[in-house]
A and B are shown apart, each in its own frame.
Chain A
Amino acid sequence: MLDDFYQFFRSKSKIGEYKEAGRKIIGTLCNNVPEEIIHSLGAVPVRLLGISQTTENARSKLPSWICYYARRILEDGLKGEFSQLDGIVGMTTDDTKMHLYSAYTFYVKHGFSYLIQTPYVRDELSLDFFAGELERFAVKLSQYLSVEFDEEKLRSSVRVYNRFRRLCEELCDLRSDDAPKLSGVDWMKIMLGSTCMLKDDFNKMLEEKLEHIKDSEGIKDYVLRVHVSGTDYYDLEILSLIESMGAVIVSDDLCTATGYFAGFVDEGKNPLRSLAERSLGCSSCILSSHPDSLSIEDRIAFIKERIKKSRAKAVIILRDRGCEICGHQYPLIIEALHSLPVLVLDMDIPVSVEQYATRIEAFIEAHAR
C-alpha cells in the first residue's frame, strides 16, 4: 500500500504528469529552500536526490571523497536523469552544497537557477536579511515563470505545507507506540515519495492512508527500538537490514526524513519572515543557531527530543564518510548521548549490505530487550 509513494520517487511519474499539465519543475538542493515560495508561484518543487548507485561521470568533475549525496546529484544530472527540471535552487548551507550548486550549474544547464544565501545565525539583523533574500528569490523566480508574486498565494502555500508537516508529525508519532504502526523502511518510502509530489496531492493521499495505518496492529515482534541519525541518507538497504535483524526504527533526524518536514511556519506573521524563521530555526538547518548558542547544541537537543518521544533505546549513525557535517559533529553528539548505546556505520555507495550485517547483528543482540 505504501509502495505507491516509493514508486513516485523511483519513477518520477508524478513529475511527468505535472510537466504534461504545463507546470514548471524546480529542483532544490537543500531542505532549507522554502518550497512554499516555488509552490505559490504555480511551479512544482522537487527535493533532488540522485538514484545512481555508481558515480563514474561525477568522478571526473568532483573529488571522489566528497559525500555521495552530492556525487549522485551530479551523476544523475550529467546522465540526464533530471531532464524534467526547468530550474534549480541551491543554498549555501555547507561547503559541499555551495560548490555542488556551482558544479551543477556549470555542467548541467537548466532555464533557471538561484542560490539562496544563508546567514548561519538567527539574530534580528540576519533574520531580516534572510527574509529579504527569500523575497529576492521569489521575485527572480516569478520573473522566470512570468507570474506575479502574491503574498496571499504564499500564505495559502504555507497552509498546505503546514498541513503536510502536521500529517507527517502525526504519522511519525505512530512510530512511538509500543507496537509501532510503521517500520522505518515504510516511513522512509513515504518521506521519499513526498519529495517529488505536490504536497497537495501528497496530503490527500496520506490522509486516505493514515486511518488505515492507525488501525493496523503494529509491529510487536521486535527486540530493540532504534533511532537512526545522519544527514542526506535515503537508501533503503541498510534500514531494511537493521529491521530484518529484529530492531524497529522508531525515530530519526535524517535531512531526508524527519529533518525534511520538522518545524512549522507561523501563519500569523508576514509569510517571508515566517519562512525565514522556520528555515533558520528548525534543526533541519544544522548550521544555524541563536547568537548565544551553537547549532550543534540545537541539533543535539533535537535528537534527544526525538529519542525521548519515540523511546528509542539505541542509536545507529549512518555516517556518509564524505559528509562534512557528520565529520565535524558526531563525536560531540555521541558524547551528549552518553546514556545510550551508539553504533557508527561509515557509508558509501554502492551500498554493500554484507559489509555491515555482522556489526549490526552484534549491536542489536547486545542491546536487545
Chain B
Amino acid sequence: MKFQDWKPLGYKTLYRELFRKHLARQNDLLKRGRPTGWFFSFHPSELIYVFDVVSAFPEQYPAYCAARGSSMDLIDTSMSVGYGHFICDYFKTTLGSIIEPEKATQPTMPKPDFIVDTRALCVAHHEMAEVFSKIYRVPRYVVNYPYWTRDLLGKVDELTKIPERIDEFYLEYCVEKLKGLVGFLEEVTGEKMDEAKFKEVFRVSEETSKLLVEIPRLMMAKPTPGSQRELGDLVFVAFFVLGSSYAYEFAEKAYNIIKDRVKRGEGVVPEEKCRLLTFGIMPWHSLSLYEYCERLGATFPVNLYVNTSVYLVNPEKPFESMVRRSLHFANSTYEMMEDILENVKKADIDGAVLFENTGCRITSMIIRPLADLLYSRLGIPSLIIEAPQCDPRVTPLGKAKMQVEAFLESLR
C-alpha cells in the first residue's frame, strides 16, 4: 500500500501549552501548601478549580509513563509484589511508581492528602482508590453513579450527554452525594466554598464544553479533518482540566483549527480510502498506529472513547451537569449502545478497529457486543486488537500494523 502525506491539525503545540500552564498552576499551589487530591476520569473537575486544590490523576500519569516507556517496568514491579496480571494497567503503573519511584518517569505524582473516589466509569476506580488510601492513610470520599439503563434515561445524545430524562430517584441521590463532596472538600481545605467562584468556574466550563463537543462532531466531516493521534489527548482536557481557564483557551484554538479545516474541505491525508471507527482506551505506547493507518488512507472520523469524555455543561444546573458526565455508553447496559449508531451512520463508517485493553473490564467487555451490533445493524466489520493501554508487550506495534493492514485489505 502507498503511503500518503500526513497533515495533522497541529494540536501538539496546543497540548504542550496546556500542560505547561497546568504544571505551573500545580507548582504554584504546591508552593502555597494547598492540599493535593487524586481524582479519576469523569470526576467533577470543576471543583478542583473552585477549591484551588492540586490535582493528580492515576490514569493520566500512567499514560504519560507509557508514552515515555517506563510503564512496563512499573507494571512488573506491581506484579512482583502480588497484584494480579489481569487488572488495570493504570493501577499497576501508578502503584509501581509508588513502590519504585526511581523507575518512574519524572516528575511522579505528588502524594495525595485526600482521594476522590468517583465511579462514573469503572469499579476499578473504587478498587484502586481503596488501595491508594490504605497505602497513604488519607481520607477518601465515595460517589457512585448508577450504571445507567434505558429505563432510567431514555435516549441519550452521545456527545452532549443530554438524555430524554433522568430518573429523579437516582439523580437526587447523586446530587446529594456531590453536595457531600463539596462538604468533604470544605473539610480538607478548611474553607467554605466560594459561591461566586463556583458560578464563574461553571461558566468557563460551559463555554469550554460547547467547544469540546464540537471537535468530535467536526471530526465526522468528509474527508476526516484530523488524526486520532492528536485527538487522543482531548480526553485529558475533557476529563481532568475542564473548568480551568487554560482548558478554555485550548478548546477555543483547537475548535477554530478544525472548523477552518472542515470549511476548506481538507483532510488529514489527500486521498481518503476508507473511514474507520475506533474504540477502546488508546494504546498510549503506540499512538503512531493511527498515523500509520491514516497514511495508508484509512482515517478515523469516530473515536467512541474520546466521545465518552465530552459533554455539555449547563451552568444553571451544575450538580445535574456533574451527574450527566456519567451518562456515556461504557457506563450503561448494552441496550444503550444503540444511541451511538446514529453518529456512526452520519460518519459513513466502513469498518472498526477496536482495542481490547487487557485488565480493563469496563471497556473490554463491551468490545465484542459492540462489534456484533455494528455488524448486525450496519454491516460494519470490526478488527479486535488486544492492547493493554500501557503495556506494548502483548501486541507490539509491528504486529498491530500487520493486523491492521490485513483488515484494510479485507475492506477493499
Nearest neighbor of A291 in chain B, beta-carbon distance = B142
Cross-chain pair count, CB within 8 angstroms: 142
A99 at the B interface (CB under 8 A): yes
Stretch at the interface among A175-183, A261-269, A294-302, A354-362: A294-302
Q: Which residues of A contact B147 (CB under 8 A)?
A: 92, 98, 115, 117
Nearest neighbor of B91 in chain A, beta-carbon distance = A328
Mark each residue of chain A from 313 to 325: 1 if its CB lies under 8 Å from any CB of chain B, else 0: 0000001011111
Q: Which residues of A contact B335 (CB under 8 A)?
A: 102, 105-106
Nearest Cβ on chain B to A105's Cβ, whole angstroms: 7
Name which of B82, B119, B146, B356 has the most chain A CB atoms within 10 A of its CB: B82
Would you call the interface of chain B mostly helix, strand, loop, or mixed?
helix
Q: B123 to A334, Cβ gap below 8 A?
A: no
Q: Which residues of A contact B81 (CB under 8 A)?
A: 331
8 A Cβ contacts from A67-121 to B: 92-96, 98-103, 105-107, 115, 117-121
Nearest Cβ on chain A to B36's Cβ, whole angstroms: 20
CA–CA, A119 and B117, complex, Å: 12
Q: A327 to B134, Cβ gap below 8 A?
A: no
B334 at the A interface (CB under 8 A): yes
Q: Which residues of A contact B87 (CB under 8 A)?
A: 324, 327-328
B4 at the A interface (CB under 8 A): no
8 A Cβ contacts from A45-59 to B: none
Q: A99 to B361, Cβ gap below 8 A?
A: yes
8 A Cβ contacts from A112-148 to B: 115, 117-121, 123, 125-126, 129, 132-133, 136
B108 at the A interface (CB under 8 A): no
Nearest Cβ on chain A to B6's Cβ, whole angstroms: 32
Mark each residue of chain A from 267 to 298: 1 if its CB lies under 8 Å from any CB of chain B, else 0: 00000000000000000000100011011110
Nearest Cβ on chain B to A140's Cβ, whole angstroms: 9
CA–CA, A322 and B86, complex, Å: 6
B408 at the A interface (CB under 8 A): no
Neighbour of A99 across the interface among B146, B356, B362, CB < 8 A: B362
Q: A119-B144, A331-B81, A332-B131 are in contact. Are A287 and B173 (CB under 8 A)?
A: no
Mark each residue of chain B from 62 to 95: 1 if its CB lies under 8 Å from any CB of chain A, else 0: 0000000000000000000111111100010000
CA–CA, A150 and B298, complex, Å: 60
Stretch at the interface among B37-45, B191-199, B256-264, B363-371: B363-371
B180 at the A interface (CB under 8 A): yes
A63 at the B interface (CB under 8 A): yes
A10 at the B interface (CB under 8 A): no
Q: A324 to B123, Cβ gap below 8 A?
A: yes
CA–CA, A328 and B133, complex, Å: 13
Q: A98-B147, A99-B366, A294-B134 are in contact. Are A120 and B142 (CB under 8 A)?
A: yes
CA–CA, A115 and B87, complex, Å: 24
Neighbour of B84 across the interface among A115, A117, A129, A328, CB < 8 A: A328
Q: Which residues of B contact A65 (CB under 8 A)?
A: 86, 358-359
CA–CA, A344 and B85, complex, Å: 14
A60 at the B interface (CB under 8 A): yes
Q: Which residues of B contact A294 (CB under 8 A)?
A: 130, 133-134, 140
Q: A63-B358, A106-B335 are in contact. Are A287 and B127 (CB under 8 A)?
A: yes
A61 at the B interface (CB under 8 A): yes
Nearest Cβ on chain B to A173's Cβ, whole angstroms: 31
Which are the 10 A-B pairs with shortest beta-carbon distances? A327-B84, A327-B87, A99-B365, A95-B361, A331-B82, A106-B334, A102-B334, A121-B142, A328-B127, A129-B173
Listed in ascending order, the chain B residues whose CB lies under 8 Å from chain A are 81-87, 91, 119, 122-124, 126-128, 130-131, 133-134, 139-142, 144, 146-147, 149, 169-170, 173, 176-177, 180, 333-335, 356, 358-359, 361-362, 364-369, 372
Known: A92-B146, A129-B173. 12 other contacts (CB 8 A): A61-B372, A93-B123, A98-B123, A98-B362, A103-B334, A120-B144, A287-B123, A297-B134, A321-B86, A324-B127, A328-B127, A331-B81
